Amino acid sequence: MKSSKKISRLTALPLLCLSVACSTNKPVDPCDYLPCGGECPPCKDPCDNPPCEPPPPPPPGENVNVLYIMTDQQSYYMISEICRNLAEDNPYRVMYRDHQWLNTPNLDKLVKRGYSFTKAYCAHAVSVPSRFALLTGESPNQYGQWGNTTSSTEPGRTQMRTVIEQRSMGQLFKKAGYNTYYGGKMHLPMASTKSAAVDSDDAINDGPTRYGFVKENFLTWNDREELAEKGAAFFSTYEEEKPFLLFLSFMNPHDICMTNVLWETKTLAEYLAGIDGGENSMEGRARVNQVYFRGIYNQISSTEWNTDELGKLPPNDEPTPDYPIKNASEVHGVYNSIQKNRAHIWFYYKLVEQVDAQIGQVLDALDNSRFKDNTVIIFTSDHGEMGLSHNTTAKNLPYEECQRVPLIFAGNGIQEGVIDLDTPVSSGFDMLPTMLDLMGLDIPAELHGVSLLNKITNGEEINRKYIYMETVNTFGVLEDGRYKYTRFVTRSPYTLNAGQTDSLFDLEKDPGEMTNLVHDPSCDAKKAQLKAALQAELTVRGINTTI
């Protein structure tokens, strides 16, 4: 499948020493230019020629390189510029009328320079399957990867490996002549060509090689400050003639999964003593950060926690009546005090602000580099966070807070300063087709998503009625951004209420999803229509589940 519109490609060539005495003809950093009579930096040969001029920036509209930035567990509204501009009846816009607890200046600048979707739905609301979808454009359930630790059985396992090795993001860009670089958190199934395990030792050392990211180009497994530093340094050290795909995967705000560390009494040393790898491991770095914020938490008086000054519970913080999952609040537990509940919200804001600063380092470095004018920037998150909505925390529930994520595209030819409040898109299924289309590359026919290129460049409407979504134990469709139908199945750790297997929400009238319409007789026709639409989505993906 080919796109209807292409943005042409142009490679900015690195400068070469023109001295006839220079035997290497190696690329030279413009900052190293010496006047006539100096040395050629790569080979130290005398240079008798006049100094070269830096290459001109590419013409407007020419995109070559891709900078892909991803966070973990960041909901769609967790960018201050986005939240200020949400629809008037959005629960999180309402919260910001009186207070503004969140400040993300770096992502705010990215919003102003690009096209932002506020109705971007992740393909799956759990990390590993969601990331698989983002890097392949295909459904994880299609191959039996319905959770973080589930591993496909045959024939799904072999089929999944084939998809990853032949048409995943890095593989497709590498085949098109790109140098592929990866840094940070992986949490991908079959990431390493040496091991199929999620986050295996081989993957930690080599990066996601099976997905087409070259081992020698793996920046770091550290997904925090070191990733920001190495990501920023990349733009001043990259000297290849080939264009690049640079994928930076940041950890936070994922540390919100252990908010309880804020009020626990264990010391950092006690935490690290029980963790393989100590502070150099993924879990160890999380404990270091969480204990750091504990120090700030302990300085806040109980009086402040009794007000909304530090964070406010969402207006839809009560459980939804007639919801199929019986033990949602137990599995996705909230806390036993209003102070701890508010602390969870406060901690979430602080973690987003922390990763915003790290992202800012990378964006500033790009802006100060020769790649500023020919690099497309993409920002998203793998899934959201419940954040006390519906009396739950964490992920995997088919609610808006968990399923909707930020999605921003910025670069030459992409509209600037657009915050799209209306267009529903799939970050997981639409991401890869859009990236390929932006670079003028062919889109594999196997992908079920659509390219957003014409939407973000000239505002053309997307001709699609349904968005398909998954969680560990649900399958769902969203019709025209309004009606969301979800079918629940029994999978650990969830149990279902007797006779409750479906939910139906009218997001136009009920944006907080507090009224399940599935038993409303006036909605029977709509339920039947969406049920049939969901079955069609499952069938086209080869998912053997009868709705």
> What are the extents of the domains in the chain?
65-260+310-463, 474-540
Residue 96 confidence (pLDDT): 66
| Minimum mean pLDDT range among 195-204, 298-307, 331-340, 378-387 | 195-204
Looking at the chain, the whole-number percentage of residues with pLDDT higher than 90 is: 73
Residue 544 confidence (pLDDT): 83
- Token pair 């999944």 in the structure block, residue: 160
CA–CA distances in Å: residue 8 to residues 16, 179, 374, 480: 25, 18, 11, 32
For residues 16 and 178, what is the distance between their CA atoms, to the nearest angstrom? 20
* Interval 378-390 mean pLDDT: 97
Average per-residue pLDDT for the chain: 87
Tokens of 134: 């983002």
Domain 65-260+310-463 architecture: 3-Layer(aba) Sandwich (3.40)
What are residue 475's phi and psi, to 5 degrees? -130, 140
* Interval 329-346 mean pLDDT: 90
Q: What is the pLDDT of residues 117-154, one digit of tens each?
A: 999 999 999 999 999 999 999 999 999 888 887 666 78
Burial 283-292 (b: 16+ CB within 10 A, else e): bbbbbbbbbe
The three-state (H, E, C) secondary structure of 286-300, written as one string = HHHHHHHHHHHHCCC
Report whether pLDDT(509) > 60. yes
Residue 332 confidence (pLDDT): 87
Report whether pLDDT(434) > 70. yes
Report whether pLDDT(112) > 60. yes
Residue 88 confidence (pLDDT): 83
Q: What is the pLDDT of residues 218-269, one digit of tens each?
A: 999 999 999 999 999 999 999 998 999 999 999 999 999 999 999 999 999 9
Q: Place 329 in a pLDDT band, splitting at 50, 70 and 90.
A: confident
Q: What is the pLDDT of residues 229-239, one digit of tens each?
A: 999 999 999 99
Q: Place 32 in a pLDDT band, splitting at 50, 70 and 90.
A: very low
Range 474-540 classified under CATH 3.30.1120: yes
Q: Are 393 and 335 in contact (CB under 8 A)?
A: no
CA–CA distances in Å: residue 203 to residues 13, 134, 213, 273, 338: 32, 18, 11, 24, 41
Report whether pLDDT(273) > 90. yes
DSSP string, 410-461: ESTTSPSSEEESS--EEHHHHHHHHHHHHTT-PPPTT--S---HHHHHH-PP
Report whether pLDDT(17) > 50. no
Q: Is the dihedral of CA 252, 256, 260, 262 positive or negative?
A: positive
Task: Measure CA 255 to chain center.
Answer: 15
Report whether pLDDT(22) > 70. no
Task: Identify the residue with better confidence: 377 or 16.
Answer: 377
Residue 98 confidence (pLDDT): 56
Q: Are 442 and 436 in contact (CB under 8 A)?
A: yes
Report whether pLDDT(19) > 70. no
